[in-house]
Structure 1
Amino acid sequence: MAENTHRPVAVVTGGTAGVGRATVRQLAADGYDVAVLARGRAGLEGAAGDVRAAGRRALTVPVDVADAEAVEDAADRVERELGPVTVWVNAAFSGFLARFLDVSGEEFRRVTDVTYHGQVNGTRAALRRMCPRDRGVVVNVGSALSGRSIPLQSSYCGAKHAVVGFSESVRTELRADGSRVRVCTVQVPGLNTPQFTWVLNRMPGRPRPVPPVYQPETAARMIAHVARHPRRDTWAGVSTAYTILGNRLFPRFMDWYLARTGIDSQQTGEETPDRPANLFRPGDDETDAGAHGPFDDEARGRDAFGWLVRHRAGLAGAGGGAVLAAAGLTALRRRTSA
């Protein structure tokens, strides 16, 4: 039986590495007990240690999010052992760096199953438990590539586009029912995560995130903020904003620009290390990868755009207060001079 069920409980899929791992740490620091759903044994142990170090309860459940039944079983276990789920974050994904014609149908489907169907399965499991209670927040982690696809990531881009459409549909259904459960999306920029050390790669160069590169904590802070202050769709990183808006305004230019730069910008000049891809097996089963990838030297730890988004209410209030104060001083001067 769950104890101390008054504590908020969060579930993070893909919480062993990258954005998911950074989100686990952030939510634990914010006072959540955290359940981590992922495949890698070493990563699960490391994530649990992070949660306990923050003084919160941790639960790890080895699960492939592409398996809908396994996700349902995991959700049952979370509620038995930790209590009712308050927040569910779908962060698990997989991908490849290859031209579309250079990947098999099985490889393409696997990316779709994890990156898209994994979020569908997680959302379903969360809503089945949240809707009867009429409370809870689901955060589906998207990408700047949700609004503008790039070369070499056809399946990942397709999946992230699908997550947006799926989330909008479910959100509308919840609103029609008068439900207070929220389904939110957070679109994130290029991040320094371990995916670039184990992604399936069929290109000559070593995979890298498209610049500018941010640390995963910038995305985690936004995800945790949305968990507390639900909003339908939120962008982290100014590059996410100009990528999505640029494609809305100038789609033909973006086609041309990415055709010229998009392939080289996703590779370094180094050769790809001989390491198995994590498409069909976890990359952190033997070694805990943590949150960061190999690009710490260039990754930005601060996100001014994200800070403005998180503090927009306070800034708007301060701005409104300044306007009122100025108006009051003007009126006082007029009365004094009259």
Structure 2
Amino acid sequence: MIYLLYLYYADVAQAYPLLNLVQYQTVRVGLALVTAMIVAVAMGQRFIDWMRARQGRGQPIRADGPASHVLTKQGTPTMGGLMILAGIAAAVLLWGDLTNPYIWIVSLVTAAFGILGFIDDYAKVTKQSSAGLTSKQKLAAQVVVAVIAGVLTVVWMQISPTSPNLETSVAFPFFKEVLLNIGWFYVVFAAVVIIGASNAVNLTDGLDGLAVVPVMMAAAVFGIISYLVGNFLFSEYLQVHHVPGAGELAIFCAAIIGGGMGFLWYNAPPAKIFMGDTGSLALGGALGAMAVATKHELVLAIVGGLFVVEALSVMIQVAYFKATGKRIFLMAPIHHHFEKMGWAESTVVVRFWIVAAMLALVGLSTLKLR
């Protein structure tokens, strides 16, 4: 909004040199981060108290989880993802270029998945059960949203001046010009990326601060990626595929980081509020949509490797148990396995953060190692 106002009143702004800073993406990235953080922190304690009053006994705790969780987490309210989403919305609306289609596509996925997560959290709280919506209900809604986002991305890339067939191709990290054109099947691929990222982050969100920090790390990497692929000179130098307009997603990534920082202020152990599916489904979907928009879908699997491992641990556990009646892990997702082994919750969280940071750096290195 402010960026569009600046463009509309550009002649007037020339008289005030400080206002000219708004035209630079890097400046708006910083402003978006600060704005989102302020909004999330400002909601803070009043929002938490309001949620606690409305939710009563708070988020239901898994009966088969670590025994310490029942003592330390009982009564903690959920839906804290609303704090992050409010910060993102404020930051993007104020500092983003609202004429940019990628901003709206990623916002569509984030908002829709956030609403889905809210409905799921609401069902859990009202039923006082860790089971909210059925997996089929959630998957059906995710498929609809993700397919629409995939189609919109392909159509817009066909209109904009990108490389030939880039809109329906998959790029490979560590290779300069390798593109696999899969035609309109790419929409299915894009949907799988978005849905997979959303559910993987959702599965990771099981301990205080465990999911939000790796999400911020991934957002930081994709903020850099989006800025570079959106700039013709940088993309040419790094020999990555140029995606005109994708640079504006750096503002969205900064908003995720800022909102996440504001939320972490209250989610740090012991958490005063949980992110819930409201936040985890939305943030994961946002990362998936940005990976699709920047043509770095496979890089997301590296940057978000921690989320991939968490999701795989659940799939392996379920498949092995159905086949043999036995379990590979003491408990899935895998962060609970380490808790069952005797690791303190804070130990699991910090060590997983370290792994996420290393994977984020590996993913970022793919920009240069080509």
TM > 0.5 fold call: no
> TM class by shorter-chain length?
0.3 to 0.5
- TM norm structure 1: 0.36
- Give the TM-score normalised by the residue count of structure 2: 0.34
Query: Larger % of strand: which?
Result: 1
